[in-house]
Amino acid sequence: MQTYSMKRLKIVYIIDSFGRGGRERQLQYIIQNLCMMHDIHIWILSVAMEYDLPLGQDRIHVITNPDSKKIRTVSKVVKEISVFCPDVIYFWDTISGLYASVYKAFFGSQIINGSIRFGGCLKRSLINKLLRRFLYWYSDAIVANSMAGLRVEGIDMHPKSVIIYNGIDFVQFDSCRSSIRNELGIPSDAIVIVIVAGFRPAKDYDTLIRAALNTRREYDNVYYLLVGDGPTKPDFVKTAGDNGLKNVLFLGMRRDIHNILHGSDIGILLSNTDGHAEGLSNTIMEYMASGLPVIATSAGGNPELVNDGETGYLVKPFDANQVAERIASLIDNNAMRKEMGSKARERIKDEFSIDVMIGNHTELLHHVKAARNRKQLEE
């Protein structure tokens, strides 16, 4: 893309929810950094809102209607947006894309499709697939947070496709004194392995537990901190208990993730690739920013983050033996573990900063606006 003059734009973001998740956190970062330069409104299609936004209440529009798909609701929101008369509408999911498309059909605004936040084949209905195809065709730009996502959708060579990697607020991950070992009674010389992931089918906790079983006889001074909650958690708590895995600690939901990461030695994230794969994982980025070597499933956008053998290891899906081998390798070689963690931190700092992400988003917004101006002149 070429460089554009930084004219103040009127931007609308639409998202189906603003609950706790990586996608929502990235949008929070974007709005926080763009709201002083541009005029921004956001429409949230549910009452879920876990992140604060630096916008006045008159700019945050929350749809309390339980059925955001109703024609009446779509019509109401489109009319509200028309009062603002945005230059660009940026939507983050398929349902939000319907709202943006209806607005474009009646009022002609440019729309950006930011719904590709995955990196593997998802199980979808035929209607959903057709709708996504329509949105790719009708959008003026298509943004993914990984090349893997574009490839899965078959649009990696599409002229409207753009990759904008997630950014991370690196300052939050500067070294700090961690209290997690004292809190949990973990010895200072123990190896702590952290897993931050929801207990749901998309995350492969089964392989993790099997890997822990494979390594416990040789390494009895290793602790696993499982951070997260979800419907499958009781099953894994029972499995760990039945197998005597006393060093596997289930911490539930925590707000002090930085504290936990700074008290850990290795970060693991395993994905269930049967119908799911990460796009660009915020969790892996946070591990790396904290100076941890990473063990992650070789799927989705993970290879775009983790340099295998340099900043951590990529492992085959569902291969507990390989995961155990990689854990053992990092435990046995203290110098290598620290070197990998250091390289991981530098990679995030150099290539996945908030500044880089915001710069790319800003350039995209002006590019899309300029394209509309050229089209209007031609007409």
pLDDT digits (tens, 9 = 90+) for 248-298: 999 999 989 999 999 999 999 999 988 677 788 999 999 999 999 999 999
The answer to whether residue 5 sits within a structural domain is no
The answer to whether residue 233 sits within a structural domain is yes
On whether both 235 and 340 belong to a single domain, the answer is yes
Give the pLDDT of residue 140: 96
Given a cut of 50, the residues of the chain with pLDDT beneath it are: 1-5
On whether both 195 and 104 belong to a single domain, the answer is no
The answer to whether residue 220 sits within a structural domain is yes
On whether both 15 and 155 belong to a single domain, the answer is yes
Residue 82 CA: distances (Å) to CA of 102, 104, 108, 109: 11, 10, 10, 10
On whether both 110 and 194 belong to a single domain, the answer is no
On whether both 276 and 330 belong to a single domain, the answer is yes
17 with 379: CB under 8 angstroms? Answer: no
Q: Which of 169, 171, 188 is nearest to 180 (CA)?
A: 188
The answer to whether residue 4 sits within a structural domain is no
On whether both 198 and 149 belong to a single domain, the answer is no
Domain that holds residue 74: 10-167+353-378
pLDDT digits (tens, 9 = 90+) for 299-321: 999 999 999 999 999 999 999 99
On whether both 373 and 299 belong to a single domain, the answer is no
The answer to whether residue 147 sits within a structural domain is yes
The answer to whether residue 101 sits within a structural domain is yes
Please state the domain count of the chain: 2
On whether both 115 and 236 belong to a single domain, the answer is no
CATH of the domain at 296: 3.40.50.2000
91 with 114: CB under 8 angstroms? Answer: yes
